[in-house]
Each structure stands twice: as C-alpha cells, then as structure tokens.
C-alpha cells in the first residue's frame, strides 16, 4: 500500500474528503517549489499534483498555460523538477503526483523517468495525452516501481469504459468535470453530478473530480458524489498573487492533518 492508498484510507476513517491542489513547478522559480509544497501540506492538502511545463499543453486553460510559459521562461526542465522533488520528499509526508505530457517523458527517456521519479519519492503520475490503449509503454514500469498511473475519464466516457479504466488502478480515478480545458467556472454541465454518482458506483478505487472547481460551494456540492477534488487554476492564480490567506481559506474546507500520515 503506497502513500496514495494510505491517504484515502485515512480520509475514509476520518470521514472527510480529499483536496488535491495543483502547482506548476517552476512558476515563480524552482527554488520556491519545496516551500510551496510544504505550505500546501500545512494548509491541509491530501496530496499535491505537480505540473510539468510544456510548450503544447492541450488540456490546460489560459491560467495554467500562462504559468507553464512563466516556468519555461525560467528555464525549468523535467530533470530539474525531479531533482527538486527529491529534496522536497525529505520534509513532505503526503503523496506527490507528477502531471506531465508524454513528450517530455519521451525526451527524458521512459525508463530513466520512471526510475528517477521513484527515487524522488513520487507516488503517482498523470499523463493526460496518453490514451489507455497506449499506456503499455510506461504502465508496467510504473507498476514495478510502485508508482501509480492515475487515469482520467471524462463526461463523454461511456460507463463500460469507465469501469474498465477504473479496474486498472490502485490510486484514484481522475474524473474531468468539464467538456474542455482547465480553468475556473461558475457553472458545470447539468449531467456532471449524475455522472459522478455513476462513476463512483462502478469504480473500485476513490474518485476525484477536477477541472474548473474554485470555491467552497462547488466543492461541497461535488464531493457529495465523489471522494475529493483537484483544484488547479484557482491555486495557480493565488500562488501567483502571493495571496496565501485566501489560499489557506480555500483549502480549509477539507483538512487532513499531516500528522495523521
């Protein structure tokens, strides 16, 4: 049982939900990454998703695209991010999940990437532009390394396929809440809640909802039908603004004390 499974077991025991903030590595400089991870853990993150900047981020909206550009302009590379996460793991207790597109992994070398993130203490990996049908290039290596491949489903994914995808993992199932790219939203598709409920009923692993979620009301509504939320664009904005008070308030709704882990 890795840190992701342990965390969700604790969440269930304490009858609370997961809040997983997304951070763009290198936005603001890599030298502040560990400090920001520590802050998010202190604020109650159940896990943290660490984004890798990429020049063609097909799933990202304007906020995260802009953060990625800032990170690339700072000269941020995947190798440097992995090295920084190795240092961060000395103090961070909660799960760390790396989110990267496939191209940087190819450039790194798939075997080397898996080996290095395992050494860095990374618990999960999200590759949004890699279809399930093509995951054999990396999934067995990740499994052997004890690193969870976090798979995604969307509102347009048939329920039979959801069931097949959910059966493959042991971490959590990332359910995309919108038909489009990331970015804060005031309203969600009317079918979202029924879809989340259906996904939850067929998934043997925890279900997290992500994309567009940005406030307590949305989190409270959505988590009635799943196990937690991923917050991306709103977190990125607040970090860019150094608005740590609002960030702490945003994350206060679900707080897993780090000393439970």
Q: What residues are labeled active site?
A: 49, 60
| Angle, helices 192-202/159-166, rounded to nearest 10 degrees | 50
- What's the order of all strands across the beta sheet hosting 124-126? 148-149, 124-126, 96-99, 48-51, 18-24, 228-231, 207-210, 173-176, 152-153
Give the whole-angstrom CA distance, residue 51 versus residue 126: 9
DSSP letter for each residue of 59-108: T--HHHHHHHHHHHHTT--HHHHHHHHHHHTTT--S-EEEE--HHHHHHH
Is residue 16 within 8 Å of 223, Cβ to Cβ? Answer: no
CA dihedral 215, 239, 252, 221 (to 10 degrees): 20
CB 54 within 8 A of CB 104: yes
């Amino acid at each position: 049982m890795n840190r992701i499974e342990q965390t969700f077991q604790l969440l269930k025991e304490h009858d609370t939900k997961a809040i997983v903030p997304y951070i763009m590595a290198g936005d603001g400089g890599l030298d502040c990454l560990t400090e920001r991870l520590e802050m998010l853990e202190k604020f109650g993150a159940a896990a943290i998703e660490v984004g890798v900047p990429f020049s063609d981020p097909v799933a990202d909206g304007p906020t995260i695209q802009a953060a990625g550009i800032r990170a690339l302009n700072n000269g941020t590379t995947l190798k440097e991010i992995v090295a920084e996460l190795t240092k961060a793991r000395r103090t961070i207790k909660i799960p760390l999940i790396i989110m990267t597109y496939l191209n940087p992994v190819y450039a790194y070398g798939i075997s080397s990437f898996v080996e290095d993130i395992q050494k860095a203490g990374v618990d999960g990996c999200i590759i949004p532009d890699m279809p399930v049908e093509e995951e054999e290039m990396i999934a067995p290596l990740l499994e052997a390394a004890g690193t969870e491949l976090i798979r995604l489903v969307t509102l347009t994914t048939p329920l039979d396929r959801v069931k097949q995808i959910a059966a493959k993992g042991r971490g959590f199932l990332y359910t995309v809440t919108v038909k489009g790219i990331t970015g804060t939203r005031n309203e969600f598709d009317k079918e979202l809640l029924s879809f989340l409920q259906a996904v939850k009923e067929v998934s043997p692993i925890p279900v997290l909802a992500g994309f567009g979620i940005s406030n307590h009301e949305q989190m409270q509504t959505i988590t009635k039908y799943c196990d937690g939320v991923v917050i991306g664009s709103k977190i990125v904005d607040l970090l860019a603004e150094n608005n740590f008070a609002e960030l702490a308030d945003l994350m206060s709704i679900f707080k897993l004390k780090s000393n439970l882990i």
